Structure 1
Amino acid sequence: MSEVSPNPLLRRDKGRMLIGAAIGTGLAANFAMRGGADFLLALNAGRLRSMGEPSISSMIAFNEANSFVMGFAESEILPRANVPVIFGACCFDPRTDLPQLVDTARRSGFAGIANFPTASMLSGSMRQRLEDADLGYDREMELLALARDAGLATLAYSHSVHEAEQAAASSAEMVIIGLGWNQGGAEGAPEDDGTLRAIEEAAIHVDRAARAVGSISKGTLCLVEGGPIVSPRHLEELCGFVNIDGYVGGSTIDRVPIESAIEATTASFKTIGARSTAPDTSDTMQPVFPIQLAGRSETIRRARDQLMRVSESDVAVHIAVPDTAGTRSVAETLHRLSRRRRREAVTICLDGSNSEERRLEIFGHVAGAHPNRDRGRIGVLEAAGGATLILDCVADTSCALIQEVADAVRLGQAKQIGGTRTYPVDLRLILVSGMDMAATPGLVHLPVPRLSDRTEDVSSVLDLVLRDLRARMRRPLLRLDAAAWRRLVDYDWPGDVDELRRSVENAALAGNSDVITPVELGDLKSPDAGRSLFASEKDWILDGLRRNRFNRSETAVYLGISRKTLYNKIRRYALDREGTRT
């Protein structure tokens, strides 16, 4: 096994992922760097996306790719870059002199070289012809070896486990485990292009490739790109299954956000002239509420009415139930009903987090403000201007941090940690927890009533649970028999809506027919009823963690156990994110 020493230009904050932005314009470079990108990739695909073409057009030979990239990178990206810039080099042209290309990139100021466009994106006869002509993946690895000898950083694109092994054997410092063209947005990949579509499917491939790289070259970093990862939430889900060192965003950084922003803004301008003459449909429009607010009782009606009232203003809100089940869904609904719905809500989970780390993330900081932060970062309060900030599991962090964030939102300004620069704050703040914060100044308290306090709503919630299970399980005939229905309606549900949903789902999985009977329901008073579906307690706990993206508070609620019990079991079975790879 060889050991690769990482290029000093590619610095990585301890405990943080390495983030690369594959772009093609100076505008995209500016804002990617403001957002904290660790390095930039100048790719022909990035430029073509800015021209309205899909990323796959980068594989078409309609111009000389290397001079194309060199042109816009030298004029727009390199002059303003304060992070390393990697040159996306094409090896398909047999006339390309690889040593000369490396020297040109080095003298132009590039910090590294990547093999893009790459033969790894091709298959079938086209790929074979390139390989037979010595213009395929082996030639790309030869280019990266020359770049490394010249002191440049090397980033290898790969899409199969074999290619990842080749890249590791070539001593590439970073290997991108590609998942295919991105699916999101108007120009996303079509359904039949071979892209890995599900997060779980992608995780299996990434894990195999990362293990293969690690067995060959210790120290080589493994990053992912493309496929089903079209938002930070999707990357977070992937990280719940496998360990990776970083992520490279192309379309997800410079195309998908711009598409939605331009479309939404234009549509908003378009509607202004029609508002004065449009008929008033407010009485007939029924907003879609989450299942936690379903029902016809007076208690739940008041909760929905209060949600509608506070949605009309920017007042800070605390959403609470005795446990935290479903409160994030209520928070996202409140955002969707507000005037800020055009921008995606930013959610930060404070579950068991280091308060100082979260403070740095939220407020931003200058270089050196913390021992683990040698580079300045813009904070969430500044970057998410105009949106809604949802702080989940606030009971698990310091009251001082919550008050500091609330004060910044109320005052409309904040200051970077360790610096003197003050920036404006334009956010709506929503806090989510199971604790009572009704007396906290400046907060509107929005309690979600327990199901046990409104038993007349159980039937309505059951209808929605069954409707959801029929769609997810593809079992349109799934139903409860009369005895099972009565048993569920008569139960007091100490675990609230989430316990009801979990009980019905487990019963549906336990039975062989589409009719759920009391036999499949088991002992409702036992929080461990779902364990019988798994070979061991470890498998049961791991399933709960994966279903809830390793959010421990939500997993504890889902499994019906206390957070302390869950933490003890995670330690006993080594089920942290490191342990799931073994």
Structure 2
Amino acid sequence: MLTRELNSGFLIGAAIGSGSNALAVERGGADFLLAINAGRLRNMGVPSIASMLPVLDANALTEDFAREELLALCRKPVLIGVNVWGREFEPAAQAVAIAEAGFAGAVNFPSCMHYSRPMQQILSRAGRGIEQEVALLKAVQDAGMMSMFYCSSRTQARLAADAGLDLVCLNIGWNVGGAVGHRSRSTIEEVAMEAREIGRLIKRINPNTRFLLEGGPIAAPEDLSRVLSLAPLDGYVGGSTIDRLPLESSVASMIDGFRQASMRPTRLDRESHDLVNWSKQYGFVGQSESHVAMLRRLRALSTARDPILIVAEPGQDSLPAVRALGAIKARSRSLNMIQIDVAEQGLPARARNVLFGHRDSSATRPPVLADPAVEIVVIHAPERLTQALQRRLARALKDGIFRMAGSRRSLKIEPRIVLLCNFYVGEETSGEDLLGAGLDPELSSYMAGWTLHLPPLRDRVSDLALLIEGKKAKNEPLIQNQLEFSTAALQKLQAHDWPGNEAELYTILGRLAGRPSSLPVQPDELVPLLQSATTVGQQQNGRSEKDLIIDALWRNGFSRSKAAGALGISRKTLYNKIKKFGLSG
């Protein structure tokens, strides 16, 4: 019999519905193919359960596609699905027809085993039940072909084993998962327990019968591995798990790829392309319009020696800009940079002595502002210096010289000075905002023409895909090749307000690392992460609630449902706030 041609190890059967999928599973190493009407219907876009409905002649549908697409293309044994519900029941004649058509054997499908027990009993009394399915397969086997019997209970399995059928496959229900899949009713452990008991029964009756499993919660190879750890099996038959689920995920993934390609920034002109390439050496990532505009100004400022004020929001990475500003002096060497964080200084006097020096310490350590070995000095949070010290700094920067405390000698400012303010500030009202944040009017006025605003992430969301790839590349193997985003998830990220900027993005990537699923990240996984970040960000950037609502509405195409989701509030709450702030128009 043809069953002897199958390997003696673990068998893999594939119930497929098209020639293209047949070639794929054959290349993948399947041992045999099943041509059943459920497979053909799956390829027509309807659920497998439609195979049990009187919508098409099951035998005719199966035989047509099996002849044209499977037998004509495949070398592996093909078992054709047969049923006993026709007007005539002639097992011997049907077996001859199966052999003449060139099939290697048969399988009982569609089968009575999918019906309820009362329905099965009615069909049995009418001479079209499980017993007749076993008799038909026995006739096929007696004609020298291979037979596989689908069963769903111990009683059915016993009938097949008593008849000495080649293969018995326990079908544990329609496959779960995918776009049209069923919900699981049984756990993997429950399935394994049932398979172990039925498998033992079959082997006691007929040790030569090979026992296989199909359906239910087994949706991936790891699910089968869990079953095998609890129950011995001779093989596995995949229907939707081989014929539908991989197609859905691979096609969806490919469409995702094309969609994400369309979401990337448009082609840059030559000048913008040069700017982006120039910026990469300093650690910049991105090519959005606002980002390129910032790079254009940064490159112009980098050629000068004048002091620079960088304004960035909390969570933004300002180090690439600092590197670019110090590149002229550093050339190919590493940049000799000193960073002074006023927010961490214990006393304003300490910051004063570090910057301007003191007569008592000048012999051993020159003031930072006059140290020729230092190429760039970054003063973080200059607004926290005393007003008097800020005015002194403004005059020193303006004159290019300063007088050390306790001394009449004037010293030249040697390094390039970069002031770095971290708080939310609007481009149009930057002067007022800087004053409100504590920057002295004299210092703010002097730096007005030499201020560089780093665009926040919410203004360059088209760079998200590039930023994610950049973060992944820097953190291999933590998240590289393990974290992909679906198109819907990327759209969710682009609609987010990003109050924490790049730092928030990095935090989210870190929380997603090591997630159990290898499939692309879906929007529902991001909701709790983005909502918590929004709450923190509102406290950080100080924007009004009205501004946040307007921004969320704009970013979500004025869809109130999506805006409410992005803000982490209910639609009813959003409606009330829209009414409160007079935004209903």
Normalised-by-shorter TM-score class: 0.3 to 0.5
Q: Find the structure with the greater CA-based Rg.
A: 2
TM-score (structure 2 length as normaliser): 0.47
Higher RCO (Cα < 8 Å, 6 or more apart): 1
More helix by share: 2
